[in-house]
């Protein structure tokens, strides 16, 4: 078993398979989730439970966090009983959530003030790559922190890149999710236009996927369009949030505003908890 003690806060659709892969790789992992019953699967797989966030942060060499938004990430670290409440000097904290560059830099400063190190490592990929350990990890931080974290990244993903200082990883994640949104919106619009002009859905998807326009994401999402079912691998509300963060970060490309408005409207229409490809359902209405 690897002797590095790992803490993990946040056990949602992504956190559970990522922790499971660390356990399979021989790491001792201690976990904390605000909704404690979500800990059950990983506890059954060999993880241990921390009594609170403070114990999680002080009791492990490296602690990773995976939560839904900026406010939740800040609370994890800075709450009175948060990760930084105990003695954390010399510890490394890694936020794998998607947050704004400003939030990442805030978390870094909070860690430094306590004598700890911080790295951001948002991931590109959804539940299936998380299960398979084939995520792409977009790290921001120092070379020293990256080298300490890399053995974990090698378990969690097929590729990790140190793209720059803290803030650069978040920016890279917002950029790739903007590209994801463009692909999904374009796929949905293309299929709906073809349908309106008498082309069968399955035929149009075959034309896309067998030609130069086909990609991993078009092939991955085609079955959902054909079935008309959109169980969340990556919830639409999270992409709407990421597009908002990108706009706040200065994204003003010609397609960025209509794209953000489209996903925002889909979320407001009640599709936020469905998969990102439910943008097709929204546009079809």
Q: pTM for the complete prediction?
A: 0.93
pLDDT given at position 1: 62
pLDDT given at position 155: 98
pLDDT given at position 88: 97
How crowded is residue 237: how many other Cβ atoms within 10 Å of its Cβ?
20
Nearest to 22 by CA among 108, 181, 133, 184: 133
For the domain spanning 172-284, the CATH number is: 1.10.1040.10
**pLDDT tens per residue across span 179-226:** 999 999 999 999 999 999 999 999 999 999 999 999 999 999 999 999
What's phi and psi for 48, nearest 5 deg?
A: -115, 160
173 catalytic residue (yes or no): yes
Residues above pLDDT 90, as percent of the chain: 95
How crowded is residue 49: how many other Cβ atoms within 10 Å of its Cβ?
15
Q: Does residue 270 come out as left (phi exceeding 0), alpha (psi in the -120 to 50 range) or beta?
A: left
Cα 33 from Cα 67, distance rounded (Å) = 10
**CATH 1.10.1040.10 domain range(s) in the chain:** 172-284
Report whether pLDDT(112) > 80.
yes
pLDDT given at position 37: 85
Cα 190 from Cα 195, distance rounded (Å) = 9
pLDDT given at position 35: 87
**pLDDT tens per residue across span 266-285:** 999 999 999 999 999 999 98
- pLDDT level of residue 77 (50, 70, 90 thresholds): very high
pLDDT given at position 55: 96
Work out the average pLDDT over 137-165: 98
| More reliable by pLDDT, 232 or 36 | 232
Cα 178 from Cα 181, distance rounded (Å) = 5
- pLDDT level of residue 49 (50, 70, 90 thresholds): very high
CATH class of 2-164: alpha beta
Report whether pLDDT(107) > 70.
yes
Nearest to 175 by CA among 231, 136, 117, 128: 136
**pLDDT tens per residue across span 157-175:** 999 999 999 999 999 999 9
Q: Which of 55, 114, 148, 173 is catalytic?
A: 173
């Amino acid at each position: 078993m690897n002797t590095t003690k790992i803490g993990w806060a946040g056990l949602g659709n992504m956190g559970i398979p990522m922790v499971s892969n660390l356990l399979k790789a021989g790491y001792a992992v201690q976990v904390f989730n605000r909704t404690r019953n979500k800990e059950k699967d990983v506890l059954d797989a060999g993880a241990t439970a921390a009594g609170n966030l403070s114990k999680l942060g002080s009791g492990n060499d490296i602690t990773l966090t995976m939560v839904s938004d900026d406010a939740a990430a800040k609370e994890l670290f800075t709450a009175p009983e948060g990760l930084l409440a105990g003695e954390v000097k010399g510890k490394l904290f890694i936020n794998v959530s998607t947050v704004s560059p400003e939030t990442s830099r805030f978390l870094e400063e909070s860690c430094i003030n306590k004598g700890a190190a911080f790295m951001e490592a948002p991931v590109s990929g959804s539940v299936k790559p998380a299960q398979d350990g084939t995520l792409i990890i977009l790290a921001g931080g120092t070379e020293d922190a990256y080298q300490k974290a890399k053995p974990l990244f090698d378990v969690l993903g097929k590729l990790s890149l140190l793209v720059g200082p803290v803030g650069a990883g978040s920016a890279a994640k917002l950029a790739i999710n903007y590209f994801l949104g463009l692909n999904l919106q374009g796929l949905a619009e293309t299929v709906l236009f073809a349908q309106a002009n008498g082309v069968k859905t399955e035929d149009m998807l075959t034309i896309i996927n067998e030609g130069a326009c086909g990609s991993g994401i078009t092939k991955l999402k085609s079955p959902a369009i054909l079935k008309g079912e959109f169980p969340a691998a990556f919830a639409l509300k999270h992409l709407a949030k990421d597009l908002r963060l990108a706009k706040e970060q200065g994204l003003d490309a010609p397609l960025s505003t209509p794209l953000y408005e489209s996903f925002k409207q889909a979320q407001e229409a009640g599709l936020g908890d469905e998969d990102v490809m439910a943008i097709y359902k929204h546009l079809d209405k």
